[in-house]
Amino acid sequence: MKITFVTGSYPPDVCGVGDYTSHLAVALGRCGVKIEIVHDEDWRLIKVGRVQERIRSLDSDLVHIQYPTGGFGIHLSPQFLSILSPCVITLHEISQAHILRRLALYPFSIRSLHIIITTDYDRNYALSRAPWIRRRSSVIPVGSNIVALDRKGGGTGDDIVYFGMIRPDRGIEDVLTLASLFKKKGLPHILRIVGKPHPNSSEYFAALQARSQGLPVVWDVGLSDERVAELLSRTRIAYMPFPDGASERRTSLFASLTNGVPTVTTKGAATPEGMEGAVAFSRNPHDAVEVINRILSDRSYRDELSVQARSYAQRFSWEVIAIQHRQLYEQLLVPK
């Protein structure tokens, strides 16, 4: 079986969907699926014919478009490609998209063979606005770019770890507020912020660093995925306060859970019921202080959270995700 992935971004580009596509390609390769990647193209609409010729030259069994990505920008070539030649589409973060981006999703519903959506919440959102895709859409989740390692003792001491892309709307302001509360209360904890600044958020990153001056905050910026996995394997507790709540689109959260890190996070409309017990919820940084202190002081509770975190994260392993994709491809390739 040979599949061509079409994506606007691919490593080393800084793009979550590009990273996802790379990991999925590797996982599918382990399942015996040959993957071709089309990404470094001119995505202007006037060049769509040239991109289509490139895709046809690869002679794949199916074409699979990943959308949106930073590389596509505002160009509509992916939509026109899906209309010209029916293919599989994965739509990422539908409910979070700008209104114009949401409108740009409708062309994908015209002739697509199948639409993959990454969470139940987003699929329900999509069906409420495009009910005609029900029979040819399904949910296959995203996975974490960070591998799971055996848990190790020590290493981070009383550090509380935040991990994720450093950009607005990730809750990092609440992390700094928590650090100020630790300082005010005389608590020994240190907030360790682990991540990579988004290329378009350099001023935001600088403002955060300035705000953290004098607070018990350590910045671990630009670590490799391997180094992050090793750090998480030694982390006693993580704090990840997403403004819109924890959800199954948060790959940074999966990285924490996959490594069995007891994680304090926030609840929102897209938080699945099944996440209860796999994480500890807090409403705000003040509430988080109490939750964190309970986890650190109660070994049995901390161990239970770690076990439940790993158990919950198993369904989001790349092996499982790749198998689900292969099964879908096989169904679509059966002669009608």
Do residues 81 and 171 share a domain?
Answer: no
Token digits of residue 107: 């062309």
Does residue 126 share a domain with residue 199? Answer: no
Q: Quote the number of domains for the chain.
A: 2
Give yes or no: residues 257 and 272 share one domain. Answer: yes
| Cis preceding linkage at 197, omega within 30 | no
Q: Same domain for 97 and 202?
A: no
Residues of the domain holding 311: 159-315
| Mean pLDDT per 10-residue section of the chain, whose length is 336 residues | 97 89 96 96 95 96 96 93 95 83 90 96 94 96 85 63 92 97 94 90 95 96 91 93 92 92 95 93 97 94 94 90 97 88
Task: Give the model's pLDDT for residue 100.
Answer: 77
Let me know whether 220 and 308 are in one domain. Answer: yes
Identity of the residue numbered 293: N
Same domain membership, residue 192 and residue 95: no
Same domain, 49 and 14: yes
* Domain at 124, CATH number: 3.40.50.2000
Q: Is residue 273 part of a domain?
A: yes
pLDDT value of position 153: 55
Residues 122 and 183 in one domain: no
Name the pTM for this structure: 0.84
241 lies in the same domain as 126: no
User: Rg for the chain (alpha carbons), in Å?
Assistant: 21
What pLDDT is stored for residue 154 in this prediction? Answer: 45
Query: Are residues 175 and 292 located together in one domain of the fold?
Result: yes
Given this model, what pLDDT does residue 144 score? 87
Residues 84 and 205 placed together within one structural domain of the fold:
no
pLDDT score recorded for residue 95: 83
For the stretch 39-44, contacts whose Cβ atoms lie closer than 8 Å and that sit 24 or more positions apart, written own/partner, are 39/5, 39/6, 39/7, 39/8, 39/9, 39/10, 39/71, 40/10, 41/77, 43/8, 43/71, 43/72, 43/73, 43/75, 43/77, 43/78, 44/75, 44/77
If asked whether residues 107 and 133 sit together in one domain, one would say yes
